[in-house]
Amino acid sequence: MASRSNTPGGNDQDQDDYGEEWARDLRVQFEQMLRSKRLHDFEQLRSQRSRVQSPSLRERASSSNLHAPSTPSSRPSTSYGQGQVSSPTPPSYSSLRHLPLMPTPPAPNDQQSHKFRNLLLSLAQTPTKYENPGLLDEALQTIPLDRIYSEAEEETQVLQAQAASMGDGRKPEWGYQDCVIKALLRWFKRSFFTWVNNPPCPACLSPTVGKGMTQPTPEESACGALRVELYECSNPACRAYERFPRYSDVWRLLQTRRGRCGEWANCFSMLCRAVGVRVRWVWNAEDHVWTEIYSEHKQKWIHVDACEEAWDNPRLYTDGWGKQMSYCIAFSIDGATDVTRRYVRKSEHARERNKCPEEVMLHIMQEIKNLRRSNLSKNERFILEKEDSREDRELRGYVVASITQAVTRMVPGASSSSSSTQRRPGQGSGNTHGNDDQKLPAEQPGRQTGNAEWVAARGENGRRNQPHDPNARREDRP
């Protein structure tokens, strides 16, 4: 160590000494130490229980391989367990349940976990389609770029003027790139894409009635239609049939320009990629999808839902629609991330996560990241890992904020005083604006797209199912 140089060459040597191999060895040592500590704690607990259990309970524990070893020498040799005597009281449950989970591959006989893993690996292919140069060129020809950039420039100037008027040196709320996506979102929702409930009759334009599903034609299958909905004209004099293929091919969606949330999110995510923005396609296990874009201005991922023209409103689904969710997985060209904590802030909105154990879920996310980043340079991987760490702090901050809010609500008179001082997760990174964690979809009386029967069947009609509060402000969108 004393012979190390402070010259640039010495810095290169430092980087070599503390490279990937050093980090991997350190991680392996930490995992081994953590396993040893866990084993020691559980051995202490088993030893204590063996002294107080009745013979019948002890026999049952022995049949399940839970009985404590009879001699201290049979205990595995670890840095924590050598020569130590069991403590008179077992460790508390809280000291064990807060140990960090280690990514663990699914067990060979765990069919459910393997099925879920295969599903996520398949879904992870979706954003890779957005990297096709020919597709992106065609998308750029579809977008009215002059209009989009003009609106973005105008909004950017307004935001800059608002920030300057505060006189405290703060940054504008959003950057130019963000304003481009907001302008693209408005155009996509209001002028480009069409929502489909029941498609009109192709012959007389009368309403149609659903008749179930039918097999896709070879042409429809070639464009990614795995299923086709069949509709019959309600006009007795017509009775024509209309097919509604659920296309997943983004190029085909540029031609049809219609669909439901799957088609909307798929096409809009690709258009965001076409204008040069990093994009995520977010899948929800309760049958909804949306988009996230990376804001270089805020150095974080931003929620965008093209169906609802929603921007940076992640609590829309739970607090607005009244939706309960279990898994929200964001897929990008750089990997996959479990972002459920961004969208589910309260326990009453959380569904049971029973597709696989949590440690297996961590393994699947890491597996997809490794797959997507295998061809990246060392520096590119390092940048993405720093970004992952920053996002993980943000997501953990949402959990802390939720617990804090629940506790302060239990203290009389504390909620009003604490709300003004509560920090937004990730606010320490330099963001001086309001607390987005407090942002509620107060003007969203449930889902806006889809007919009432379809929305109600999905449980997404939000406050329509809740008792009317005369003090609550409600403004329906035109």
Place of tokens 């295969």: 118
> What is the Cα Rg of the chain in Å?
27
State yes or no: pLDDT of 374 exceeds 60: yes
Does the pTM of the predicted model rise above 0.85? no
What is the greatest pairwise CA distance in the chain? 94
> Which residues are known catalytic residues?
261, 288, 305
Going by pLDDT thresholds of 50, 70 and 90, the confidence category of residue 17 is low
Instruction: Give Cα 115 distance to the centre of its chain.
Output: 20
DSSP string, 190-238: III-EE-SSPPPTTT---EEEEEEEPPPHHHHHTT-S-EEEEEES-TTT
- For residue 280, what is the enclosing H or E element? strand 279-284
At 149-172, the pLDDT tens digits run: 999 999 999 999 999 999 999 999
* CB contact at 8 A, 329 and 283: yes
Q: Which tokens in the block code for residue 150?
A: 């003009």
State yes or no: pLDDT of 311 exceeds 90: yes
State yes or no: pLDDT of 52 exceeds 60: no
Q: Which tokens in the block code for residue 128?
A: 């890779």
Q: How many CA atoms lie within 13 A of 347 on its CB side?
A: 4
State yes or no: pLDDT of 478 exceeds 70: no
The 3-state DSSP class for residue 302 equals strand
Q: What is the pLDDT of residue 71?
A: 44
Check residues 394 and 73 and name the one with the higher pLDDT.
394
Q: What is the pLDDT of residue 23?
A: 75
Distance separating alpha carbons of residues 297 and 50, to the nearest angstrom: 59
Distance separating alpha carbons of residues 293 and 227, to the nearest angstrom: 29
Q: Which tokens in the block code for residue 414?
A: 């504390």
DSSP string, 421-456: TPPPTTGGGT--S--GGG---TT--S--SS-HHHHH
φ and ψ at residue 211, rounded to 5 degrees = -120, 15
* CB contact at 8 A, 101 and 62: no
At 249-259, the pLDDT tens digits run: 999 999 999 99
Distance separating alpha carbons of residues 232 and 210, to the nearest angstrom: 6
Distance separating alpha carbons of residues 335 and 383, to the nearest angstrom: 13
Q: C-alpha dihedral over 120, 125, 127, 130, to 10 degrees? A: -170
The 3-state DSSP class for residue 462 equals helix
Place of tokens 């031609």: 255
Q: What is the pLDDT of residue 476?
A: 35
**Mean of per-residue pLDDT scores for the chain:** 81
Of 252, 231, 253, 227, nearest to 242 by C-alpha is: 231
The 3-state DSSP class for residue 258 equals strand
